[in-house]
Structure 1
Amino acid sequence: MVNPIYGSYWYPNYWLAGYLLNPLAPSYPYQAINPIPVGQEALWVNNWTRQQSSLLASTLTSLSNYARQLWEASQPLQLSTNNNVFLQRAATSSAPNAVTAQAEPGATLATYAISISQIATAQQNLGLSLSSTSAAGLAAGTYTFTLQVGGKTYTISFTVNAGDTNQTVLNNMAQAINASGAPVTAQVATDIVAGTSRLVLTANNTGTSNAFTLTDVTGNAVAYTGANTVSVAAANASYTLNGVPYTSQSNTIYLDNRKLRLNLLGTVTNATITVTPNIQAISNAINNFVTAYNNLVTFTAQNSQYINPELLFSLKQSYSYQAANLTAIGITQNPDGTLAVNQTALTSALQNNLGLVETAFSGINGLAVTAGLKAHQVFTSPLSSFANPLPQLNTTYLSSYNWWGLLNTTSLWALLLPPGQLLNRLV
């Protein structure tokens, strides 16, 4: 078994302690060992190994998150994606008070000349002004009239009760029109100062095909209220586009297979609509990508003890494939592998040489393509795929106690001390 302790040293049996703790120790039967430093070292190793495993797992999880962010930032810069910014368009008008435009992705890059002589209008009827609180000049009973619009006839009825005021009759008539489903909206406009009210009927849609008429069927409610009095006639838009005349029931005009929408707001002569690449969207996408790229490169470099160095090398290498083109558009690589953006040079390239920008990021071996693929590989692979092996400890007494935790603290003390000795030493 184990010999008694003399002073601060104890003399373990070779087979129980010396062999278990140091299999390569010379084969002599007794070896002086101080148990307190050994125990302290065991406790330190135990804590160190647990901490390293936890830090490794945390680092690899963060690495995966940074890689996902880079992959997501690379998507708008790749030609194969639906949200490819190189297909995004900006449409500008030389006369935004008269006509505006919105372009869909992939719209043809072009300039349109437009003149507008008439915008489309919706019919509006303004009824007679009646005293709001006076008794209505309609006998009690049910009144029926028709409302014709867009080739369809709506039959509408409402009730007048004895003693109803003009305000009440107008409100009930407006409610009946709105409940009929006809594409006409009825309101009662009241002048509080004058004490009068009148019906206001407005077509829901512009153009002559949406003009409407009201006709009494039972009673004379339409005639009494003047509901069929047109104040604004329905009209179609009239304009020329690149010299060709057109008319439209609506003020919304679609061109280029509905990829370009014009909104007519007023009359104008010789205005222009220009469709260009969305330079701002592309610039924003590039800057977002550079930020995500730099975050991943920096994190990988700062945690090189946990992350395989091949990853950092691959990320830096992805720049080299298009280094000349990237430098030409204002994207340079710092000594630490991160990227820097010269915004002035980038804006100039976007305005004057968009094809070069597209090649640098989205062409063969483009930066967004190669770095995006590497980032995708990182966050879709098992965490251990890009881990560095943890370093082994070189301890004097615990050569067999490595970072995998082959010996724990309890086992160590059980080997070092006779039964009860740990308690005696502490007391």
Structure 2
Amino acid sequence: MSVNTTTRTGTVSSAISQLAAALLSTQQQPITTLQSRLSSLNTRSSVLSTLKTRLLALHDEAQMLARAGTLSPFAAKAANVSDTSVLTASAGAGAASGAVAITVNQLARRATHVSDVLADTGTTISGGGTGTFNFTVTIAGTAYNASVTVNGGDTNKTVLDNVAAAITTAVGSAGSAVRVQPSTGQSRLSISSTNTGAANKITFTDTDGLLARLGVVHGSPTAATDTTGGYVYDDLGGHELDAKLVVDGLTYYRDSNTVTDLLNGVTLTFKATSASPVTLKIQPDADAAVNEIKTFIGKYNDALSYLKQATVIDAKNSNFGPLSGDSHYVLLPAQLRAAGAAIVGSQAAGMPNSLTALGIQAGRDGTLSITDESKLRDTFTANPTAVQNLFGAADGVATQLTSFVDRYSSFSGIIVGSQSSITSQISFLNDRISRLQANLAKKQAALEQQLATQQATLNALSQQQAQIQNFMARTS
């Protein structure tokens, strides 16, 4: 009689693997605990990163409000024009507040000269003589030489196109020359400077007489008509190409319709002439100031609200924020609220010395809001310097808030220190978890092998028993 035995080798069955894991489940608990701590640390790190971002946004906006002089957002000026179809204006921080009356008697113009009106298919020009003709176009004091070849039989249209091309090539960006068509079958040459004003006037030196043949130049300045050539706009010594402006009764000339040197810090753009004065009023820009304050309030509220969520302690509902156990941050919401409610002692008597004095109130949750925008605007318009000092003085709201927030949000601040500590803890926990997992994996592998061996032994015994039973059955 022979008895068969079976030994299992290789990978163990999933059932054995599951059994081994179940038997070692209690040894998994320390790893699970460490993983829970690791998850909590990662959450805190993420919360600190978001908090830092929001505090930096508040810091930067407070720093903006604390700026002094013309860099301050409260130094911005608004330019209001009574008729923007005549002129528009913008004012810099250095512009003086006040009002002026401006009458635009004449806009600045480009120097423009035209030829006679000629029939396109005619040969009037070439019929007057052929050959190469030289001439000079002077714009803004710079002479540009050009030449044109006129061949026998060239039509007037061809010659005008050639002259326009020669001038355009010669003068480049200083001017232009084009053939225009007053009516079907007729053309004339139009020559203009690129820039406006008497400083950019055009003069001609008609060396070989071609421009005179075209009717562009004459023995003396001659105004063009609907059919004959000459100047359309030219400087004849009376500022004919300049903008003519009457400001508070005094006359001024400028060579451009965009003027930056008439009123200090003010850019004027003239669009049309006016029969009566247009009023320009320069005043503190209340819209810009209010918008900047609203931005500050938004950044302040974002930081405060997020911080309150991160540090919440609600034992009744078992709600604890990720930073609720950190003394660095638990008191920060109250400190931010105190900074927002600060009294600026350096303000002169009668001047606003708190956000409340501007019509800005804190709600029950500490967030700020403008409860009286009219009061804010009126206070700013009446004394923008006082509002600027409220935020930007040495003890100003924005100055103090910037300094306070910097302790947390700077590169060497409290948040960076906390994150560094958390990073070290995370690294330590990852190493410890890896060691425990490796050790547990070895134990499980050994246990799986032991169970597999026992299973194989049982299987062999079972087979032997079956064989004995079969043998006994055959011999009975």
Range class of TM-score, shorter chain: 0.7 to 0.9
1:247 to 2:247 alignment:
no
Q: Corresponding residue for 1:385?
A: 417
Q: Corresponding residue for 1:188?
A: 179
- Deviation at residue 205 of structure 1 after TM alignment: 3.0
Counting matched residue pairs gives 380
Q: Corresponding residue for 1:73?
A: 61
1:313 to 2:313 alignment:
no
Q: Corresponding residue for 2:356?
A: 327
Q: Corresponding residue for 1:221?
A: 210
Q: Given the alignment, which residue of 275, 286, 291 partners 1:279?
A: 286
1:60 to 2:48 alignment:
yes
Q: Corresponding residue for 2:446?
A: 420
* Alpha-carbon contact 1:325-1:356 (below 8 Å) kept: no
Q: Corresponding residue for 1:337?
A: 366
- Deviation at residue 389 of structure 1 after TM alignment: 8.3
* Alpha-carbon contact 1:112-1:273 (below 8 Å) kept: yes
Q: Corresponding residue for 1:230?
A: 231
Change (3 A) 1:62 1:56: same
Q: Corresponding residue for 1:7?
A: none
| TM-score (normalizing by structure 2) | 0.70
For residues 316-362 of structure 1, what are the alpha-carbon distances to aligned partners after superposition, in whole Å with 9 as ceiling and x for unaligned?
A: 22112138621121211123322122234433333344344323322
Change (3 A) 1:255 1:215: closer
| TM-score (normalizing by structure 1) | 0.77
Structure 2: stretches of 5+ with no match in the other structure: 1-21, 218-229, 312-321, 345-352, 423-427, 456-476
- Deviation at residue 175 of structure 1 after TM alignment: 1.8
Q: Corresponding residue for 1:363?
A: 393
| Secondary structure in structure 2 of the residue aligned to 1:385 | helix
Aligned CA RMSD, in angstroms, stands at 3.3
1:267 to 2:288 alignment:
no
| Secondary structure in structure 2 of the residue aligned to 1:266 | coil
Whichever residue aligns with residue 49 of structure 2, its letter is T
| Secondary structure in structure 2 of the residue aligned to 1:90 | strand
Find the aligned partners of 1:387 and 1:309 in 2 and give their Cα distance: 16
Whichever residue aligns with residue 363 of structure 2, its letter is N
Map residues 30-109 of structure 1 onto 2, 5 A cutoff: 38-80=26-68, 83-109=71-97
Find the aligned partners of 2:268 and 2:310 in 1 and give their Cα distance: 54
Identity %: 24
Find the aligned partners of 1:298 and 1:84 in 2 and give their Cα distance: 28
* Alpha-carbon contact 2:24-2:444 (below 8 Å) kept: no
Whichever residue aligns with residue 234 of structure 2, its letter is A
Find the aligned partners of 1:103 and 1:165 in 2 and give their Cα distance: 55
Find the aligned partners of 1:363 and 1:418 in 2 and give their Cα distance: 69
| Secondary structure in structure 2 of the residue aligned to 1:335 | coil
For residues 192-227 of structure 1, what are the alpha-carbon distances to aligned partners after superposition, in whole Å with 9 as ceiling and x for unaligned?
A: x61222111122333334332334212x32123222
Whichever residue aligns with residue 179 of structure 2, its letter is V
Q: Given the alignment, which residue of 92, 100, 103 partners 1:112?
A: 100
Higher helix share: 2
Change (3 A) 1:419 1:94: closer
* Alpha-carbon contact 1:111-1:275 (below 8 Å) kept: yes
| Secondary structure in structure 2 of the residue aligned to 1:174 | helix
1:296 to 2:284 alignment:
no
Structure 1: stretches of 5+ with no match in the other structure: 1-33, 391-401
* Alpha-carbon contact 1:46-1:409 (below 8 Å) kept: no
Find the aligned partners of 1:65 and 1:155 in 2 and give their Cα distance: 63
Find the aligned partners of 1:423 and 1:66 in 2 and give their Cα distance: 56
Find the aligned partners of 1:425 and 1:298 in 2 and give their Cα distance: 57
Whichever residue aligns with residue 95 of structure 2, its letter is A
